[in-house]
Each structure stands twice: as C-alpha cells, then as structure tokens.
Amino acid sequence: MDLTKARALVAEMATADVKGISFTAGEPLLYLNDLIALIRLCKKYGIYSRVVTNGFWAKTRPQANDIVSALMAAGLSQLRISFSRWHQAHVSRENIVTAAASCQKLGLDYFVSFVTDLSETDAPYEQFLQDNHLKYFPEPLIYFGRAQKLNRPEVFGDYPSNQCAMNPYLEPTLDMFACCDAGSRFTETGFLHLGNLSNHSVATLYGKYETNPLYYLIKTVGLTPLASSLGMKTGEIVTYRKCELCEELFNSTKNLDRLKQLLNKEPTRWHR
C-alpha cells in the first residue's frame, strides 16, 4: 500500500474512532521506515498499535535491540512474534528468543503466537518456548491458503459456542472485510466483504460492520446455535473448526437466506 494513502487511512480511522490497528499479513518489518511512520501516526491519534512479525530481523542481540528500540520510540504498543514448525523452516528459532529478550530488556509488550495443529509433532516446539520462559499463546492452525493441503486431525471436544471477535481486515487493495480470514473465502456470497475504501469512507464500512445483525450473533452467541438452527446435527457441528464452520454457514446463498429469515421471524430465538 502506498505510504501516503496508508497515512491518510490511519487519520480517517482515528476520525471513525478506531481504537487499535494491527500491521500484519506478509512481513511488515520488510518496510521498516514506512511502518515506523505509521506507528508514529497511531501514537499521535491515541490508537493502540501492534505489529505481527516472524522475527527474521533478530539474528543478533544488537540487531534486535536496534529494531525494538526504533519501534518503541515510534510508539508501538505490542509486538506479536509468530512461531511454528512452518515458520521455523525459514527463520531460526533462536531469532524468536533474541527478539523476545530484546522486548523484555527494553520494556516492549510482546507475546509469541504459537501456531499449531495440536499434534505431537508440535510438542518439541512448545517445549522450546517453555524452556526459554517465553510468553506465548497457542493459535490453532487455520486450514486456509496453503494450509488447505495439510492433513487435518479429527476434531474432538465439548460442544463449543464458536464465538469470534471478527476483527475487520483491510487489504492493500483497499477492500475491507469483517474478518481477517475472509479475503480468499466466501466467493459465493461475499458475506464478509464490507466494501472498498475507494468508494466508501472508513466510517461507512465500520457502520456496516457494527450494525450487521448476523455479525453480532457470531460475536455474541456463536456459530454453533446458528448451525443448529439450520438443521446441522450436534455430532456434525463438533467436527468443524470455527473458521470452516463459518464458511459452511455463510458461503451458501441458501443458508444465508434461511438465517436472515429466521432472524427476522424469531429475533429472540438466540437467547437461552
């Protein structure tokens, strides 16, 4: 995205009362100078800023300290460091330790995002994080994009509500989606596509996001009751991961129309 356009969008988001921006998708720190300019702008407008990175830049402690210091001086709120057996095929796991150590030393809030398919194959990777006393949170693998080709273990567990925070996502094309994983999905219905900022203001698209009744139900009630209302059996629902269940429900014109009808006819059916 052109830096001038990105700066204008941050200013517009501030006007629309956006409270936080996460710079992600690909590797933001490849564009360090542009990123620092945008983080400074977030600080100016009182917007919480986060950068998601694979830590490629943390080859040595001095290098890591320089980058973390520059991000902190710009006003970065938090650094999220991606870690997995797939990431570490390209970036040394020692980079993760070095990046985290710089954050700890210099006082920048951070956490390691441990992407996992929950298999035993990932056990040594999680043990590495524990052995190095790193703050991390497991992030279940989403089988979209290249991950679609991977083998998927069966899903077992209780009957989850499958609620989702649905953080809106803005692409460099200026297309805005109601959720970060929507861009390459939902090709049949475009359910999560809010619009393009070439034709609409940030406030307009956020208004669509905030007032959509089905989005509200996904965030507060969860996908499971919606699936049940369409006639999906309990034993079938628990075999879906959250994002896949969302696609199953809302990338079907038939399902989407039925849910809208139910919402209009029985608005109180979603409360226990």
Going by C-alpha positions, the residue among 152, 169, 120 that lies closest to residue 21 is 169
Residue 53 has pLDDT above 70, yes or no: yes
Specify the range with the lowest mean pLDDT, choosing from 76-85, 192-201, 261-270: 261-270
pLDDT over 90 (residue 269): no
pLDDT given for residue 142 in this prediction: 84
34-49 pLDDT, tens digit per residue, is 999 999 999 999 999 9
Pinpoint the alpha helices (H) of the chain.
3-15, 32-45, 61-74, 93-106, 123-131, 202-211, 213-220, 223-229, 234-237, 242-250, 253-265
CATH class of 3-141: alpha beta
pTM for the full predicted model: 0.90
User: What residue segments make up the domains of the chain, in order of their start?
Assistant: 3-141, 155-272
pLDDT above 80: residue 268? no
